[in-house]
Amino acid sequence: MQKVGMSSCSTQSEKDKAGCGCGHAVAFDGATPAYRRTLGWVIAINAGAFAVIAIGSIVAASASLAANTLDFLADAATYGLSLWVIGRSARLRAGAALIKSASLAVMAVAILGFAAWRALLGAMPDGGAISGLALLGAAANLAAALLLVRYRKGDANVRSVWLCTRNDLIQCVVVAATGLAVILTGSRWPDLVVGVLLAAVFLRSSWQIAWQARAELADERARRDEVADFNSVASQL
């Protein structure tokens, strides 16, 4: 689910995102009305896809589709956080990243639990429903990706949204292929294996985001300490 500091020039127009006349290049941080509108549409797409696919995943009784469903929910929530922290302090952005990390970890545990439950029941998932709903999810992610592709080279906050959307598109295609594998093999195991693999991917992403957020918080504390020390010395002069 990847955040860096903002430039004092971040409120300039979108066309100046590569540089703002301060003597050096500045990564676009999303602080423009156009990007905010785009991210709002992406959030709406993910929320809508979650509502549809969530119902389908229950009907299909699929672990991989459940993972896909929870991913849409997490994306809608974390993209909302990304929208909220645009232009705010490094401390707030790192805190938002930790929330994203925790949500991914909870989602991974839920998927593993669902996969274990399905394995114990021994019931067959509906391969056709898995593929159909996954392709619907792929279409939603493709629409979001087309909206975000022009912002794929922004700062870590902006770029993380693009990377998540791109990865989710790939994930939906994998889940669609899983449904086909269930149909061809007549076995529930392709679905369960993919569900577990997706849970592992979410856990890895959770760890990476948490590690970077903790590093950013440490950097922010170090900067505050330096400022406090400087002010203390200056007050004694």
Token pair belonging to 232? 């203390």
What is the pLDDT, as a whole number, of residue 141? 92
Split at pLDDT 50, 70, 90, the class of 154 is low
Give the per-residue pLDDT at 229.
66
When the pLDDT of each residue in the chain is averaged and rounded to a whole number, the result is 77
- CA triple 60-64-68, angle to 5 deg: 95
For residues 21 and 1, give the distance between their C-alpha atoms in angstroms, rounded to a whole number.
31
Q: Give the model confidence (pLDDT) of 69-125 as tens digits.
A: 877 887 888 788 888 888 777 777 777 777 777 877 887 887 788 778 777 776 777
Q: How far apart are CA 36 and CA 67, in angstroms?
A: 27
Tokens of residue 126, six digits: 């509906």
Q: φ and ψ at 19, to 5 degrees?
A: -170, 150
pLDDT at 19: 41
DSSP state of 159: H
Q: How far is CA 18 from CA 2, 39, 232, in A?
A: 19, 20, 37
Going from N- to C-terminal start, the domains of the chain cover: 37-225
DSSP state of 12: S
Beta partners for residue 9, in sequence order: none
Q: In whole angstroms, what is the distance from residue 29 CA to residue 215 CA?
A: 19
> Which pLDDT belongs to residue 99?
79
**Around 44, how many Cα atoms within 13 Å sit in the side-chain half-sphere?**
8
Residue 233 pLDDT grade (very low, low, confident, very high; cuts 50, 70, 90): low
Total-model pTM: 0.67
pLDDT reading at 16 higher than 70: no
